[in-house]
Amino acid sequence: MGEIYQIFGSDAAQMAYQLLERMGLNLNSKLKVGIKPNLVLAKPSISGATTDPQLVAGVIKYLQHQGVKEIVLLEGAWVGAETKQAVKVCGYEQLMAEYGIQFYDLKEDQFTKCYSGDLEIKVCRRPLEVDFLINLPVLKAHCQTKLTCALKNLKGCIPDSEKRRFHSLGLHQPIAHLNKILKSDLIIVDGIIGDLTFEEGGNPVQMNRVLAGSDPVLIDSYVTQLLGYQIEEVPYISIADRLGVGSSDLTKAEVINLNQTTTGDKLELTIGADKVEALYQYITEKEACSACVGSLIHALQRISESSGIPQDLELFIGQGFKGKSLAGIGVGSCTNNCENNIGGCPPTAREIVDRLKQLW
Ligand code: SF4
């Protein structure tokens, strides 16, 4: 059975450390460990685009406490962006100085021609050379592939020419095959702030959660539900499953929650969050947890992308509505006295989408 560990909160460093402790990660101190965040472009993590450096700090602290000496940071930003600029703007220079970590810009790396079946893929050498690869993607929706998380994050480990070719090949096949060649040994998903629609951020959604596991296919399958999609809507997941990269069978997954959701630490997400703001007009919120509101925002976006949202829709959410009998639709188990309720604590965006469609 595949395990997915989940923790809620906003102290990224502490959350990463606690997850690794709970997972019992115990690496030989002689291993060379590679850390691959998502620094797709030069925008800080609060934009929803990039991995929170504090999440990486928590991982490094844990590894260094275990005696691991060689830890390297690996990234190649997307075509058109400079990785070094992303490293700087996203707060990673300070992190590397503090922990004595070496950084490799994969845009300057050499590559090796690798094969998965008949498909040749050029892969940067540095990621292939590490003994243990830790993949730290951001939980984001994506305009072309719908989801970008664990499997797609490895696209930063190929040269720019190959990134362009991946697009000409339709993304799904090559992303799955790349993961057959380059294995993520551990995945830690930054779901504290992700994006509603785009890889480059700009519509940040605070969900205050971090997930971890060792199967990138299972992790991606699980997070499709958190964004309101179905696994079949992201073809590279089932292709990766067929290739033996991992399992997309969520019925065999065990989700281990380290704590409960929290109502605190709401951030002012002011970086061009117009789409998110527009969706808030349908929500009446009182003391709601960020994970719950995040699920609802993603659900509303998915509905607006398909059938559209009825203008008179009003949804109640939050602990402030516990025990209140309201005429309308309540989201989350706190609002189970509402005329109609979508249960769960927190419900996934997918559960909200399905139930809202039933109610309409
Ligand atoms: S159902 Fe209530 S307690 Fe649970 S996540 Fe939602 S707001 Fe928080």
DSSP letter string, 173-191: HHHHHHHHHS--SEEEEEE
318 Cβ closer than 6 Å to some ligand 1 atom: yes
- Residue 268, pLDDT score: 57
Q: What is the pLDDT of residues 212-260, one digit of tens each?
A: 999 999 999 999 999 999 999 999 999 999 999 999 999 999 999 999 8
- Residue 217, pLDDT score: 98
Q: Are residues 218 and 307 in the same domain?
A: no
Tell whether 215 is covered by a domain: yes
Q: Are residues 245 and 333 in the same domain?
A: no
345 Cβ closer than 6 Å to some ligand 1 atom: yes
Q: Are residues 165 and 116 in the same domain?
A: yes
Q: Are residues 219 and 279 in the same domain?
A: no
- Residue 202, pLDDT score: 82
Tell which atom from ligand 1 comes closest to the C-alpha of 289: 8
Tell whether 268 is covered by a domain: no
CA of 289 to the centre of ligand 1 (A): 6
Tell whether 233 is covered by a domain: yes
Protein residue whose Cα sits closest to atom 4 of ligand 1: 345
- Residue 269, pLDDT score: 54
Name the domain boundary from 226, 257, 288: 257
CA of 21 to the centre of ligand 1 (A): 26
To 5 degrees, how large is the angle CA 347–CA 296–CA 197? 120
Residue 247: phi, psi to the nearest 5? -115, 135
CATH number at residue 179: 3.40.50.11440
Q: Are residues 6 and 34 in the same domain?
A: yes
Tell whether 267 is covered by a domain: no
What is the mean pLDDT of the segment spanning 202-214? 93
Q: Are residues 92 and 21 in the same domain?
A: yes
Tell which atom from ligand 1 comes closest to the C-alpha of 332: 1
Q: Are residues 77 and 210 in the same domain?
A: yes
Q: Where in the sequence is the domain holding 297, given as residue range(s)?
A: 274-359
pTM: 0.92
Tell which atom from ligand 1 comes closest to the C-alpha of 317: 7
What is the mean pLDDT of the segment spanning 204-209? 92
- The domain tally of the chain equals 2
Work out the pLDDT band at 264, boundaries 50, 70, 90: low
